[in-house]
Amino acid sequence: MSTALQDPRVVESPNYLNQEYGWRSWLFTKDHKRIAVLYIISITVMFFIGGLFAGLIRLELLTPQGDLVNSDTYNKFFTMHGIVMVFFFLIPSIPATLGNFFVPMMIGAKDLAFPRINLLSWYIYIAGAIFALAAIVLGGVDTGWTFYTPFSSTYSNTFVITAAVGVFIAGFSSILTGLNFIVTVHKMRAPGMTWGRLPLFVWANYATSLIQVLGTPVVAITLALVGLERAFHIGIFDPAIGGDPILFQHMFWFYSHPAVYIMILPGMGVISELVTCFSRKAVFGYPFIAASSLGIAIIGFLVWGHHMFVTGMSMYASLYFSLLTMLVAVPSAIKVFNWTATMFRGSISFDTPMLYAFGFIGLFTIGGLTGLFLATLGVDVHVTDTYFVVAHFHYVMVGGMVLAYLGGMHFWWPKITGRMYPEGWGRFAALLVFAGFNLTFFPQFITGYLGQPRRYHAYAPEFQVLNVMSSAGASVLGLGYVIPLIYFLWSLKYGPIAGNNPWRAKGLEWETTSPPPTFNFEKTPVVTEEAYAYAGQSTHEKVELT
């Protein structure tokens, strides 16, 4: 990151990257931007580890027989894939990286409310990741990322406690990040930055933080109880002495359903930023998008039973949860309509971030609509525990969230690093990701509907063609992920120097240098214009810096 200094053409302004050098300045930093970079590196590593397990899964599923590995090992593959991807990639991803970097800047603050707690968050994440990796190295876990009892608490012979401890610890990282964001957004906005002028990315991260703070402790105590049961052979969830495995599921899903909103809401925040910038137009229905973020956060806590329709939960509870799950689709749909309306009559450019945004809107819509199929009790009975569910959640989590993350990374890369990535390669990789993703997961809707169960290392021979397509798609998707990794790293040394605002975007983060100075702004900004003041505005900036 110091290589720009070697370029004789460039006199680099002091920024958060070159202000201090050495490993101590990074590992003991209090700067939210450096912490964000630490997170970017860590979650990228975890992403590729999770992806490795995905590759192994798809490799096994090339053939109908369970011939690559035995079923126990396969169970470990999908468990580790799930645990790593959910808890160590998706949950932290946007909040800990782009959120950490940009929430303070977007509100005109110098840093988060509690910078040292922010650093502590990262260390806690690393500690959790070490436990998770230890579980992998020691031999893996085979309970599924859902840790259902009594298999996880009594019968599994794998390293459940190690993995559960890893997740437990990572949960605290999540809680502290959420706490930090909540207090920051309430207490540290610059003069003139009212709630109604906040970028929607900030609203999205705020809503996410509420979920993190309210939900994560419950999964923490639930996993602690499983660990204790496993260690001490006592029976809270063991039916043999009167325990109730369904209670575990209630407590687990109380967090894990809102957790999926932790994963998607920040992504939606990114899309709001991308769609406005690349349509050169103010967002349509700002209050509705802001309110819908809160709506998703709140309603998201009322629907968890839809994961438990076939477990033996009462029919009345099932009806309750089914109905409310229909309701939670409404705020998400509001967002999709508003983004579409934003693009209408906008001046659209097809830069890489916008390609990802388009991909998100389409794929998230498919994922969301199939969620409604699953919310419908009658349909769910048939497709639950099949690949239909797997396809649904990958459409929202990968087609939605990962695309939003990549879009956001491309959008803000020049701001974070001061370098531009190669646009041609960016578009190519985006198309690869889109094509590879659909090839991987659309066939799974079909095989799932036709009956292929999930979490099985073998399947009926008639599904082979679709599974081969899926595995082929996974290779393309994997390539689509590796290419940006390569050119992002390449751009650090060879990418063209980006100016302060290469996208001519609105937002306080673009008013400062790329990369930003350590304290973000020369002087505290005073905000006088609304968010997304794009179309119809003069070219003169209206943000006054006092």
Partner 1 sequence: MEQQFDSATLGMWVFLLTEIMFFGGMFCAYMIYRSMYSEAFASTSQYMNPKFGAMNTAVLIVSSLTMALGVRAARMGQQKALQMFLIFTMIFGLAFLVIKGFEYHEHWVDMKVPLFGGHWDYSEAPQFARQAQIMFCFYFFMTGFHALHMVVGVGLMTTILIMARRGVFSKAYFTPVEISGLYWHFVDIVWIFLFPLLYLIGRTKQLI
Partner 2 sequence: MHSIPSVRTYVIVWAILTIMTFVTFYVAQINLGQWNVVIALLIAFFKMSLVIFFFMNLKAESPLTKLFAAGGFFWMALLLGQTFIDYVSRNWMPLGKMW
Binding site for partner 2 (CB under 8 A): 186, 214, 218, 246-247, 250-251, 254, 301-302, 304-305, 310, 312-317, 320
| Other beta carbons less than 10 A from residue 167's beta carbon | 22
317's contact among partner 1, partner 2, none, with CB below 5 to 8 A by partner kind, is partner 2
Q: Which CB sits closer to partner 1, 227 or 426?
A: 227
Q: Binding partner of residue 220 among partner 1, partner 2, none, CB under 5 to 8 Å per kind? A: partner 1
Residue 191's binding partner out of partner 1, partner 2, none, with CB under 5 to 8 Å set by partner kind: none
CA distance 496 to 10: 11
CB of 183 to partner 1, least distance (A): 5
Q: Under 8 Å CB-to-CB from 190, ≥6 apart: which residues?
A: 107, 108, 109, 508, 524, 525, 526, 527
Residue among 254 and 364 whose Cβ is closer to partner 2:
254
Give the pair of three-digit tokens for residue 377: 């009790």
Q: Find which of partner 1, partner 2, none residue 233 binds, CB within 5 to 8 Å per kind.
A: partner 1
Q: Which does 41 bind (CB under 5 to 8 A by kind): partner 2, partner 1, none?
A: none
ω into 239 cis (within 30 of 0): no
Quote the CA–CA distance of 148 and 400 in Å, as a whole number.
27
Nearer to partner 1, 41 or 240 (CB): 240
Cβ at position 325, least distance to partner 1 in Å: 21
Nearer to partner 2, 320 or 456 (CB): 320
Contact of residue 535 among partner 1, partner 2, none (CB under 5-8 Å per partner type)? none
305 binds, among partner 2, partner 1, none (CB under 5 to 8 A by kind): partner 2
Check: CB of residue 205 under 8 Å from CB of residue 95.
yes
Q: Cβ-count burial of 408 within 10 angstroms (0-12 exposed, 13-18 middle, 19+ buried)?
A: buried
CA distances from 506 to 105, 280, 499, 503, 512 (A): 12, 9, 14, 9, 12
d(CA 324, CA 300): 9
For residue 217, the minimal CB distance to partner 1 (Å) is 4
Taking the least distance from each CB to partner 1, the nearer of 42 and 212 is: 212
Residues that bind partner 1 (CB under 8 A): 113-114, 175, 179-180, 182-183, 186-188, 213-218, 220-222, 225, 228, 232-236, 240-244, 247, 251, 254
224 vs 310, beta carbon nearer partner 1: 224
DSSP letter at 242? T
Closest approach of partner 1 to the CB of residue 300, in Å: 15
Using CA atoms, how far apart are residues 270 and 484, in angstroms rounded to an integer? 18
Name the residue nearer to partner 2 (CB basis): 185 or 263. Answer: 185
Give the Cα-Cα-Cα angle 185, 205, 54 (nearest 5 degrees): 155
Q: Which is nearer to partner 2, 161 or 251 (CB)?
A: 251
Question: Amino acid identity of 82?
Answer: G
Q: Considering the complex, what minimum distance in angstroms separates the CB of residue 255 from partner 1?
A: 9
| Least spacing, CB of residue 324 vs partner 2, in Å | 9
- Partner that binds at residue 228, options partner 2, partner 1, none, CB closer than 5 to 8 Å by kind: partner 1
Question: What are the Cα distances from residue 127, in Å, to 120, 153, 176?
Answer: 10, 23, 14
Q: How distant is the alpha carbon of residue 313 from its chain centre?
A: 30
Burial classification of residue 258, based on how many CB atoms lie within 10 Å of its CB (0-12 exposed, 13-18 middle, 19 or more buried): buried
Spatial distance between the Cα atoms of 71 and 66, rounded to a whole number of angstroms: 7
With CB under 5 to 8 Å by kind, the binding choice for 333 among partner 2, partner 1, none is none
Closest distance of CB 259 from partner 2, Å: 14
Q: Are 452 and 527 in contact (CB under 8 A)?
A: no
CA distances from 334 to 186, 312, 327, 340, 514 (A): 25, 34, 12, 10, 34
Residue 542 contacts which entry, partner 2, partner 1, none (Cβ below 5-8 A, type-dependent): none
> Shortest approach of partner 2 to residue 254 CB, angstroms?
6
**Least distance (Å) between residue 240 CB and partner 1:** 8
Nearer to partner 1, 179 or 416 (CB): 179
Which of 302, 545 has the CB closer to partner 2?
302
Beta carbon of residue 213, minimum distance to partner 1 (angstroms, whole number): 5
Torsion (CA) 357, 358, 363, 364 in degrees, nearest 10: 50
